[in-house]
Amino acid sequence: MSQLFTSVQNNSVSIPVWLDDLIFSQLSAVYEPQYKDFVVLEWTKTEIQKYLGTYFPRSFAESLCIFSKYFSERHEEYKDISELSLFDFGCGTGGEIVGFILAVSQKIPHIKTINVYAVDGNRYALIDLERVLASTASETCVDINTNIIPLKIDDFYDMEILDNLITKKFDFIISFKAISEFVTKQQFNTLNPYEYFLNAFLPKLSDVGTICVADVSSFNQISKEWLPIMMDNAVTSCGKADMIDRNIDFNECYYISHSKKANDVSNIFWRILKTKASQPIKKDSSSDVKKDEWEELCKQMLSFFDENDHDSSKDKKLRLASLIEAQRQHPNNLKAVLEALLEKDEWKTAKNHKPKKIFHQMHKTFSPSEQGTFF
């Protein structure tokens, strides 16, 4: 067996020989940096080879450094755990997954099983990911149960599909340099994609679950905002997560060496979050839906909306987004959901007042016992 581990000193990492040989010799990766915002989802096989040779090593090193630190400081929390589950949103070719697995192997070596769920929309990247994880399992002697989800996320509907596909909870949910692509493509319209991600995936954490978001620290030309600031605003607005660790200063610099480049430089920001301690659901006159009925009611409301709102403009997507967000912010509280919608401009104004009509229909359908009107 070739040398497995690599030292991590002052955020400087050399790719292990076996991994270097895998990506550059066996998978024909090419080192070729790009210096602009890009969207990996749309890349061809040739472009993915460039991605594999340039950004896979960076993600590997960043993840290895972040999780080596994390497990060094918290290894006692995992002393009675024999396996871990990991979900990667926007996994690409899996550099961050391999970095995570090697950090586990080094810092908490008694864990020999890692259940990996990985979602991405680029089929060429997923083909490489399968090869990469198979080799990683062989080299580390860790049992890696791989579940690949080929899904391209274009809008809120696709996120709902993913939400329905992912029914289990995870010890770790990670996303490395993927959410910035949603910012660039404006796939969630005016919503902060980081906040949308947190609201979607915090409920999918296990009791000991942790979320790690890492991304480029650049100024995004589409959103006209610095991405680390967007992330911090998302944590504040979400209000459901405690930040337990983060990078030093505005961003953190990593140095990666491999056979094609010595001391390649990557600057990212990262945040590690856990769910805030849960509070008991308050039972009052406005909490009119039982907890075990709420999920089904939400699905029915979304289906009703889709069937009745035939507007083809982006306003429909905005109304859908605000409906999903209101459901997540006001669990078990139908009245609060409906009231929250009335604060949104996309539900208030329209030339033909169609949103008001749909709202009345939804109100009548799902809360027939209520009297009066919200308008």
Q: Is 34 exposed, middle or buried (0-12, 13-18, 19+ CB in 10 A)?
A: exposed
pTM given for the model: 0.74
> How far is it, in rounded angstroms, from Cα 79 to Cα 24?
36
pLDDT band at 156 (very low <50, low <70, confident <90, very high): low
Return the pLDDT at 86: 98
> What are 83-128's pLDDT values in tens digits?
999 999 999 999 999 999 999 999 999 999 999 999 999 999 999 9
Confidence grade of residue 171 (pLDDT, cut at 50, 70, 90): very high
Residue 205: is it exposed, middle or buried by C-beta count within 10 angstroms (0-12/13-18/19+)? buried
Q: How far apart are CA 292 and CA 354, in angstroms?
A: 32
The pLDDT tens digits for 281-303 are 343 444 556 666 777 777 777 77
3-state secondary structure of 374: coil
Query: Cα(103)–Cα(210) distance, rounded to whole angstroms?
Result: 15
Q: How far apart are CA 105 and CA 101, in angstroms?
A: 6
8-275 placed in CATH 3.40.50.150: yes
Range list of β-strands (E), 3-120: 8-9, 12-14, 83-89, 113-120
Rounded Cα–Cα distance for residues 106 and 173 (Å):
20
- Name every residue whose Cβ is closer than 8 Å to that of residue 35 and which is 6 or more positions away in sequence: none
Would you call 324 helix, strand, or coil by DSSP? helix
Rounded distance between C-alpha atoms, residue 327 and residue 338, angstroms: 9
- Cα distance between residue 301 and residue 341, in whole Å: 13
Domain ranges of the chain: 8-275, 291-366
